Amino acid sequence: MEINHLPLNLRVIHHWPAKMKRGRPTTLSETAAKADFWLIRTYWDLEFPRPSLPNVDFVGGLHCRPAKPLPKEMEDFVQSSGENGVVVFSLGSLVGTLNEERANVIASALAQIPQKVLWRFDGKKPDTLGPNTRLFKWIPQRDLLGHPKTKAFITHGGTNGIYEAIYHGIPMVGIPLFADQYDSISHMKIKGAAVRLDFNTMSSTDLLKALNTVIKEPSYKENAMRLSRIHHDQPVKPLDRAVFWIEFVMRHKGAKHLRIAAHDLSWFQYYSLDVVGFLLACVVTVIFIITKCCLFCCQMFAKTGKKKKGE
Residue 30 and residue 187: Cα distance in Å, rounded? 30
261 near 54, Cβ under 8 Å?
Answer: no
36 near 256, Cβ under 8 Å?
Answer: yes
> Which of 34-38, 42-46, 219-223, 234-238 bottoms out in mean pLDDT, i.e. has the lowest?
34-38
Residue 6 and residue 12: Cα distance in Å, rounded? 8
Q: What is the CATH number of domain 72-232?
A: 3.40.50.2000
pLDDT at 262 (0 to 100): 81
How remote is the C-alpha of 246 from its chain's centroid? 21
Q: What is the pLDDT of residues 239-273, one digit of tens each?
A: 999 999 999 999 999 888 998 888 778 888 888 88
Listed by start position, the domains of the chain span 2-61+237-264, 72-232, 268-310
The set of residues, in sequence order, having a beta carbon less than 8 Å from that of 283 and lying 6+ positions away, is none
175 near 158, Cβ under 8 Å?
Answer: no
pLDDT at 22 (0 to 100): 61
pLDDT at 154 over 80: yes
Q: Is the pTM of this model over 0.85?
A: no
